[in-house]
Amino acid sequence: MSSRLNADIIAGLFFILVGTCFLVGSFELPFGSFRRIGPGAFPALVAVGLIAMGLVVFVSGRRSTAKIAPAHVHIQKVFVIIASIIVFGLIVRGGGLLLAVLCCSFIAALASRPFEFAKMVLYGLALGAICSVVFIKGLGMSVPIVGPWFGS
Partner 1 sequence: METVNLLLLGLDQATLPVNLLWCFVGVLLGTLVGVLPGLGPAATMAILLPFTIGLEPVTSLIMMAGIYYGAQYGGSTTAILLNLPGEASSVVTAIDGYKMARNGRAGVALSTAAIGSFFAGTVATLLLALFAPSLAELGLLFGPAEYFSLMILGLIASVVLARGSLPKALAMVFIGILVGLIGQDVQTAVPRFTLGFEDLSSGVNFVVVAMGLFGIGELIKDLENPESRTAISAPLFSMIPSKDDLRRMVGPILRGTGIGSLLGLLPGGGALLAAFAAYAIEKRVSSPPEGFGGGAIEGVASPESANNAGAQTSFVPLLTLGLPANAVMALMFGALIMQGIAPGPTLISDHPDVFWGVIVSMWVGNLMLLVLNLPLIGIWTRLLTLPFRYLYPAILVFCSIGAISLGNNVFDLWLLAIFGLAGYIFAKLDCDAAPLIMGLLLGPMMEENFRRAMFLSRGNPVIFVDRPISAVLLACAVISLVIVALPKISSVREEAFQE
Total interface residues for partner 1 by CB under 8 A: 70
CB 15 within 8 A of CB 51: yes
Q: Write the binding mask 70 to 109 for partner 1: x where contact by CB under 8 A, - elsewhere.
A: -xxxx--xx--xx-xxx-xx--xx---x--xx--xxx-xx
Residue 137, interface with partner 1 (CB under 8 A)? Answer: no
Distance set, CA 138 to CA 85, 134, 135 (Å): 23, 5, 5
Rounded to an integer, what distance in angstroms lies between the CA atom of residue 73 and that of residue 18?
A: 22
CB of 110 to partner 1, least distance (A): 10
Query: Residue from 1, 2, 69, 112 that binds partner 1 (CB under 8 A)?
Result: 112
Least CB distance to partner 1 at residue 125 (A): 12
Instruction: State which residue, 34 or 117, has the beta carbon closest to partner 1.
Output: 34
What DSSP string runs through 89-150? HHHHHHH-HHHHHHHHHHHHHTTSSS--HHHHHHHHHHHHHHHIIIIIIIT--SS-SS-GGG
- Rounded CA-CA distance 144/121 in Å is 20
Under the criterion CB under 8 A, does residue 5 sit at the interface with partner 1? no
Residue 46 exposure: Cα atoms within 13 Å on the Cβ side? 10
Interacting residues toward partner 1 by CB under 8 A: 7-8, 10-11, 14-15, 18-19, 22, 25-26, 29-30, 33-40, 42-43, 46-47, 49-50, 53-54, 56-57, 60, 65, 71-74, 77-78, 81-82, 84-86, 88-89, 92-93, 97, 100-101, 104-106, 108-109, 111-113, 120, 123-124, 127, 131, 135, 139-143
